[in-house]
Structure 1
Amino acid sequence: MTRSTGLEVTGTDSMGMAAATHALPAQLEAALAAAVDVVGPAGSDPITNVVAMGMGGSGVAGDITSALAAPHMRVPVTVVKGYECPAFVGPQTLAIAVSFSGNTEETLEAATAAHDAGASIVAVTSGGQLAELARHWGAPLYEVDSSIPMPRAAVGAISVAPLVALERAGLLSGIAGWVGATVAQLRSRQDSTDTEVDSLDEFVSAIGNGEMLPVFYGGGALGVVAAGRAKAQINENVKIPAYASAMPELCHNELAGWDQAGRLIDGSPLAVIALRHDFEHPQIRRRYDFTRRILDGARVAVPYAELRAAGEGAMAQLFDLIYQVDVLSLRIAAAAQRDPGPVPLLTELKTYLAGHPARHP
């Protein structure tokens, strides 16, 4: 039995995912301390756009960077999750490449193209080919603790460096304060004996037993990132489908689909978990209220619950939600009697792709 967040996470955990989740505050602090000695980025051209590149558990760093930094910056942030480098990338681009392993083929290809286009590169990785390229290019290299068991468990380690790089480039300020407030909130969450996730015990059981699948709703930039993180954590830790949707967009389409939700014989096959924070637009808050009415009034009522963020500032609230959904995924994995660490299917995919190298026209 592993203690995590003031919650008990039981079951097989061969890679120590619960311990890594519990270490998130320390991970953030270590990442900030490690970034102190990294020099750069340095370029002769003014930065007019930022591109954050990454996939999967590493790619979430780009989502986090965009959600937290874009509201404060005078230049746009584009998140790239794929092989292609945008055509606008050039000497006035700051390209931040994030790959925990350093060997993610999509990120390596996109980062190489960005470098060839004249962009200033920043690398965030624990090693591998990306670290080698960064050294060869003379690019700033933010090294991530390689002892963290999986990329998705390194969310704190990979998310601080891009923010620090933006601060070094003169595009942001106050990152140490952001991280400090985030660490304080996470430790407060861990010390609590009565947590938000405790209220979802029925959801944990039903999802773990295969009776329902979760749909995560997030509003605004912070909520959308948290919902995407929740979906991915359920996919990889529990090995089941999960879904994520964004407010207010879902009110223009998906909401109509709930009016006839479920089958009378089986009840609702889906459950909605809303991820709430204090930075929501007032109209998004009203949309949640309306959506709840629709779910309750459907032909078969759709189970609904909320996890709410706390903390001072956007980074603290985003990571508070990330932490809670990570714990939720571990509890569901335990209920489903699944080891949250290894993902054999993804290893099989990488082996398959390695035998079929990409060929471009």
Structure 2
Amino acid sequence: MTAGHRADLDRMRSLVATLPDQVDPGFRAGACLGESALRIDPSPVWFVGMGGSGIAGDLAAAALGDRAGFSLHAVRGPELPPDLRKGTVAVLSSYSGETWEVLRAYDVAGRRGATRVVFAAGGQLIDRAEKDGVPTFRLPPDQPPRTAVGSALGGLLGLVDAWLPTSNAGRITHAVGRTRRRSPRFASSRGPAAALARAVGDRTPYIYAGADLLPIARRWRTDIEENAKRLAMFDGLPEAFHHAVVGWDALPRPEAARWGAILLRWSGTGRDLKRGAAYLERLARSRGAFARTVQLPGDDPIEYLLNGIVLGGYLSLFLAERSRAPPLRTDAIDRLKAALTT
């Protein structure tokens, strides 16, 4: 591994370590913004973003669960649903402030009369928002978008906190403290992230999770692809029981060494989902593939989501170290953006 790759890994590890510490300040800033920016009555919220800037919407929806008296949807693309109109809220998130899909959605939401809030670190999106008098939440600068997820998640939870029957402030403080204490173990070469990376090896992992953990499965996929420069897939349970089992059952043994299954759960995962996941794990193993269940620690959604973010971040970095990939760089995305502008 070159000195440059080692520096990349060290930088990314330090950024993953700070993820829990971003949540509390983000929550407080988001709560202040919400008091001035949002209506008194709860309204449907659409969180519009791509890649690392978009995952906060899924995570916040999972953290709120059915406690919220309003709907929170994630949108990944410039096309906004018909129900986003006056009386609803559009949160437009682009770390760089230059994401064309989000810039287009910003304009569409404005024409429809929706209440707009911008999450960004700079760029055109901030400039337009300031010109239009749209409230802004500033993401921490000078880092990859995917490493600002703690701030974005805290900010979004804070933004809507006044709409909840009881504040999430205590839950967040508790979850951040417990995740911070677990983080050094996740980062250790003898910890669960390193062990899982060694077990995955050079295989392409399929990451499965129920609805409450599906944002973490998505996050692990994107972290592995961006940090380790390897393909990964994710799918939801119980839906995958109705198609994935057919593919695993038909997997030829000579190909099995190329694939792996990671099945996520937490202490609140239901009995039927656990039984189905255990069957899928046994099936993959019976065909000669790698398969493992990973239980995320925590007894509260905010806690197990934060643990999942940090554990998956370190998993992707141990895989990056294995494949000698520079985790900070995403040159392929830069080439795509350049191709689209020519």
TM-score, length of structure 2 as denominator length: 0.91
Look up the match of 1:143: 138
1:53 aligned onto 2:48:
yes
Choose which of 172, 183, 199 in structure 2 pairs with 1:190.
Answer: 183
Q: Counting helix residues as a fraction of each chain, which structure ranks higher? A: 2
Could you tell me which residue of structure 1 aligns to residue 108 of structure 2? 113
Q: Which residue of 1 aligns with 2:278?
A: 289
The residue number in structure 2 matching 1:176 is 169
Question: What RMSD, in angstroms, separates the aligned Cα atoms of the two structures?
Answer: 2.2
Letter of the 1:89 counterpart: L
Query: 270, 276, 280: which is aligned to 2:259?
Result: 270
Match of 2:36, SS state, is: coil
The one-letter code of the counterpart of 1:180 is T
CA contact (8 A) 1:99 1:130 kept: yes
- The one-character-per-residue Cα deviations of 1:11-67 (angstroms, maximum 9, x if unpaired) are 3517811110011122223323433543432348x4442111000000101111222
Q: Name the SS of the counterpart of 1:160 in structure 2.
A: helix
Contact 1:166/1:172, CA 8 A, preserved across alignment:
no
Runs of 4+ in 1 over 4 A off after TM superposition: none
Paired with 1:228 and 1:191, the residues of 2 have a C-alpha distance of 23
Partners of 1:108 and 1:125 lie apart in 2 by: 11
SS at match of 2:253: coil
1:195 deviation in Å? 3.2
- Alpha-carbon contact 2:9-2:317 (below 8 Å) kept: no
Confirm whether residue 96 of structure 1 aligns to residue 85 of structure 2: no
**Cα shift at 1:281:** 2.5
**Kept in 1: contact 2:31–2:155 (CA 8 A):** no
Paired residues for 1:180-219 under 5 Å: 180-192=173-185, 195-204=191-200, 206-207=201-202, 212-219=203-210
Q: Which runs of 5+ in 2 are unaligned?
A: none
Q: Partners in 2 of 1:351 and 1:238 — Cα distance?
A: 22
Q: Between Structure 1 and Structure 2, how many residues are aligned? A: 335
CA distance in 2, matches of 1:214, 1:80: 25
Q: 1:172 to 1:21 in 2, by over 3 A?
A: farther
Whole-angstrom distance in 2 between the partners of 1:121 and 1:103: 17
Are the structure 2 counterparts of residues 248 and 66 from structure 1 closer, same or farther at C-alpha, using a change threshold of 3 Å?
same
Find 1:77's aligned residue among 52, 72, 81. 72
Tell me the distance in 2 between the aligned counterparts of 1:125 and 1:78.
Answer: 19
Q: Which residue of 1 aligns with 2:19?
A: 24
> Could you list the runs of 5+ residues in structure 1 that have no partner in the other structure?
2-9, 356-361
Between the aligned partners of 1:263 and 1:241, the Cα distance in structure 2 is: 21
The reply on whether 1:234 has 2:224 as its aligned counterpart is yes
Deviates more, 1:193-202 or 1:309-318: 193-202
Do the aligned partners of residues 17 and 141 (structure 1) sit closer, same or farther apart at CA in structure 2, a change above 3 Å counting? Answer: same
Note the C-alpha offset of 1:308: 1.8
Length-normalised TM-score, structure 1: 0.86
